[in-house]
Structure 1
Amino acid sequence: MITHHPKHELLSAFVEGELPASLSAAIAVHAEMCEICAKNIQHLTEESAANFFSPDVKTYNSYSDKPASNTAATDELSYEFMIDSITEDESIAELVVQEPLEIEIKGSTYQLPTALRSMSMMGWQKMGKLSRARLNLNEGALHSSLLHIDKDGGVPSHTHKGFELTLLLEGSFEDEMGTYVKGDFIWLTDKNTHTPHTTEGCLCYTVADDALQFIQGLSKLLNPIGAFIY
């Protein structure tokens, strides 16, 4: 059962279109798997729409329009203008059914969630039991990736220079804070330290704004390549 969800502030920002593409995709994928968050998003969307069409919100036919003295008449004209704009296109839109996109990693096949299927992906890079493929979103310091960890694999104990979002797409893993299953939305910062390990193997969607920082023993020698993983 999914026990880790996006915070309310993230869901609100998602509905308002305020998140970068990488985080919006993470919310959308999580909502595909989580009925609770899907309902919360629907509620926030309805609430946002109600606020937008509230009588207190004035709209005009163009940016150059100025408020008229008769507000009710202006609102009515704006509404009619909007409906006319929507209905003037007589073309028929055909529903395109998207085929499931499968990826294969080290003999395991996975179907990608809908929100990730249109993203272009770089080739897989492998280091031991870890495999990572960057997603080409061109978001500067934000790096989005698919991360695969083989059975009985893990990541040495580390913290983060920025934030790290891990959305579990398949499989499970555990760390000092608990066990995570498909659909869990795990948000960590420089205040968190953990040592992820998986028995069955897992595939994750990750977003990070800086490299991780190894903190114990010989693994500290890996810090120069910490950006490889996230």
Structure 2
Amino acid sequence: MSTITHHVTEPVLMAYAAGTLETPYAVVVATHISMCDECRARLAAHEHVGGVVLDQGGSEPLSGDLKARVFAGLDAEPAAPEPEVRPDIPYGRSGIFPAPVMTALKGKPPKWKRLGFGVRQSILHASQQGSVRLLYIPGGQAVPDHSHRGLELTLVLQGAFEDETGRFGVGDLESADDDLDHAPTAVKGAACICLAATGAPLRFNSLVPRIFQPIFRI
């Protein structure tokens, strides 16, 4: 495996440690952590600090109507659960896919859908929180120029890509936000396979990708 030089940002890692990170992003972070000793150590440090804070935290008196509200909640009609991807289910690694990816795939091979010019995708999870997908980009092929509506996390599982911010190899994680406008290009050689999570559809700068965007759900 190549040396990992691009890691999880501190705010995202803190949200992951606290269990508040949205499912699509959590899948990507869990996968990166499974590949990165440095971020695994950083996560352990955050979890240790969180445990200390809980141990030292004071208690607050409970309101008198708490019991009534709890039982009222139990009697209420339960809401339909939102489909969830659980990065902690212990599927093993398979080929280039670490255990969290195999969990999202439910232990099965990806179902690739062609997007054109040799590019393929396999959507692993999609909900109101966003989506997480595998992308297969042939060596030398570029993704159409785009910007973002919020955070996009992209983790390289095979090959490498380059964009305006640098080069990303196996294990590297790119964090892109509203300020980044880029056209990632797979480095020549082996196809670049990435795991990417977004909270909202991308903003493509050219007409053709925008036309097909609803069909491809990107």
TM tier, shorter chain?
Answer: 0.7 to 0.9
Which residue of the partner structure matches residue 112 of structure 2? 124
Which residue of the partner structure matches residue 202 of structure 2? 212
The one-letter code sitting in structure 2 at the alignment partner of 1:57 is: G
The one-letter code sitting in structure 2 at the alignment partner of 1:100 is: R
Task: Find the partner of 1:190 among 174, 178, 181.
Answer: 178
The one-letter code sitting in structure 2 at the alignment partner of 1:190 is: D
Task: Find the partner of 2:53 among 45, 51, 54.
Answer: 51
Q: Structure 1: which 4+ aligned runs deviate by more than 4 Å?
A: 96-99
Task: Give the Cα separation in 1 of the matches to 2:102 and 2:32.
Answer: 14
Which residue of the partner structure matches residue 221 of structure 1? 208
Task: Give the Cα separation in 2 of the matches to 1:167 and 1:183.
Answer: 6
Cα offsets for 1:66-120 (capped at 9, x unmatched): xxxxxxxxxxxxxxxxxxxxxxxxxxxxxx974433xxxxxxxx43111121224
Q: Does residue 94 of structure 2 align to residue 114 of structure 1?
A: no
Say which SS state the counterpart of residue 132 (structure 1) adopts: strand
Task: Give the Cα separation in 2 of the matches to 1:164 and 1:111.
Answer: 21
Which residue of the partner structure matches residue 88 of structure 1? none
Say which SS state the counterpart of residue 174 (structure 1) adopts: strand
Structure showing greater radius of gyration is: 1
Task: Give the Cα separation in 2 of the matches to 1:130 and 1:205.
Answer: 14
Which residue of the partner structure matches residue 192 of structure 2? 202
Cα offsets for 1:140-176 (capped at 9, x unmatched): 2501101111122121222223332211111101112
Q: Compute the RMSD of aligned alpha carbons.
A: 2.5
**Distance change >3 Å, CA 141–CA 14, structure 1 → 2:** closer
Which residue of the partner structure matches residue 89 of structure 1? none
Of all paired residues, the percent bearing the same amino acid is: 25
Gaps in structure 2 of 5+ consecutive residues: 68-88
Which residue of the partner structure matches residue 168 of structure 2? 180
What is the Cα deviation at residue 32 of structure 1?
1.4
- What is the number of residues matched between the two proteins? 184
Task: Give the Cα separation in 1 of the matches to 2:24 and 2:90.
Answer: 23
Say which SS state the counterpart of residue 53 (structure 1) adopts: helix
Q: Does residue 146 of structure 2 align to residue 158 of structure 1?
A: yes
- The answer to whether the 8 Å contact 2:92/2:98 transfers is no
Task: Give the Cα separation in 2 of the matches to 1:97 and 1:134.
Answer: 20
- The answer to whether the 8 Å contact 2:151/2:199 transfers is yes
What is the Cα deviation at residue 31 of structure 1?
1.1
Task: Give the Cα separation in 1 of the matches to 2:201 and 2:51.
Answer: 38
**Distance change >3 Å, CA 229–CA 164, structure 1 → 2:** farther
Q: TM-score, normalised by structure 2?
A: 0.74
**Distance change >3 Å, CA 97–CA 116, structure 1 → 2:** closer
What is the Cα deviation at residue 16 of structure 1?
0.9
Q: Which has the higher contact order (CA 8 A, sep 6+)?
A: 2
Q: TM-score, normalised by structure 1?
A: 0.71
The one-letter code sitting in structure 2 at the alignment partner of 1:37 is: C
The one-letter code sitting in structure 1 at the alignment partner of 2:209 is: L
- The answer to whether the 8 Å contact 2:92/2:99 transfers is no
